[in-house]
Amino acid sequence: MAKELPGYGTINVPKDREVPFGAVTPAPVCTQDLFKTSNWRIVRPVKDDEKCTRCLICYMSCPDACWEYKEADDEMYWINNFCKGCQICINECPTGALSAVPELDFPDGVARLEKPF
Amino acid sequence: MAKVHEITVWARGVIMDKEARDVINIFAKAAQMDGKFAQAFDNYEDLPDRVLVTVRKYVRLSDEEIEHKYVYTNDKPEVVVIAEETIIKGIDILRGMEKGGTLIINSNRPIDDLLKFIPNANLLGTVATVDANTITGVRTVDFSGSEGGVDTTGIGKGIAAPLCGAIAKVTGMIKKENLAKIVSDVSGMERGYNEVKIKKLG
């Protein structure tokens, strides 16, 4: 798409490189297999569905965008592969719906990597 | 050339960096007091370590002088020490190990539960667990003594002491009397030596 920029003339931006106004992109748009950090964690956040009010504070406070809200189900989903167990969401949750559970209590859920990171 | 025994210590970055570094330094010193030749390497491969990232520390032990000093990674570890139990789930800790190796885990869980998380556990000859977190829950977060610097905080105060006691009992490569001269927390080391649970695998 050709855009008119004052002082620069016309520039051509390909369709797939376009960003919306303010350069705010919906994140995460894709995930990188090389940056899996699930083997960093000692504990994982476990959600209590009855206490969760869908306030989205976990979604906003997570540094790795590991909480996802699906409107169709009206539920929060945890993204296992990139959660590094920092427990920020557990500390921020206003209703106490999240709790830290040791990772070895679960049989699955960690990407087993050949190298440390 | 005599056989070089390789010991790899896995820990979490920053929060257990000092403890794992203490394990390798204590091990190497105790072996040297016994008249053996030892090398201890802090992490180079895994730098920069960040909070909770898995890091490796290496020790080598031999009856003769170790000549290949510029290679610091242990390709074929004989003994693997895990300073935090969750690491067994996320990393292939036994990579490069030959059949009949030894695994020592800092954990209070039953050994059979831990072995479920290790798909290539048939390589192991001996598995041992020591509950170092209960014996002494101390974890010093300090970079004093890293990269060969002078350690001002004293070595073997935290979970390193019971782990070293467990290593001495399971492997027999170092002696408890030598350890007692080095570590700050001698009672923790004694408890680690006495309370380690050992399981021999076929």
Quote the longest CA-to-CA distance of chain B: 44
> Hey, are the CB atoms on A113 and B55 less than 8 Å from each other?
no
pLDDT at site B120: 86
Is a pLDDT exceeding 80 seen at residue B59? yes
Domain ranges of chain B: 5-200
Exposure string for A24-45, b = 16+ CB within 10 A, e = fewer: eeeeeeeeeeeebbbbbbbbbb
Mutate to test the interface with A, among B89, B91, B114 (most CBs of A within 10 A): B89
* A113 DSSP 8-state letter: B
pTM for this model (two decimals): 0.85
Helix axes B160-171, B17-33, angle to 10 degrees: 40
What whole-number distance in Å separates Cα of residue B166 and Cα of residue B172?
A: 10
What is the rounded average pLDDT of the residues B149-177? 86
Residue B91 DSSP SS3:
strand
Query: What is d(CA A46, CA B194) in angstroms, rounded to the nearest whole number?
Result: 36
Percent of chain B with pLDDT over 70: 94
The 10s digit of each residue's pLDDT in B95-151 is 889 999 999 999 999 999 999 888 888 889 999 999 988 888 777 777 766 666 677
Output the pLDDT for position B66.
Answer: 86
Architecture of domain B5-200: 3-Layer(aba) Sandwich (3.40)
Average pLDDT over residues A47-64: 91
Residues B70-81 have a mean pLDDT of: 87
Domains of chain A (ranges, CATH numbers): 30-105 (3.30.70.20)
CA B77, B81, B85 angle in degrees (round to 5)? Answer: 130
pLDDT recorded at residue A28: 61
Residue B96 near residue B109, CB atoms below 8 Å: no
CB contact under 8 A, B53 and A111: no
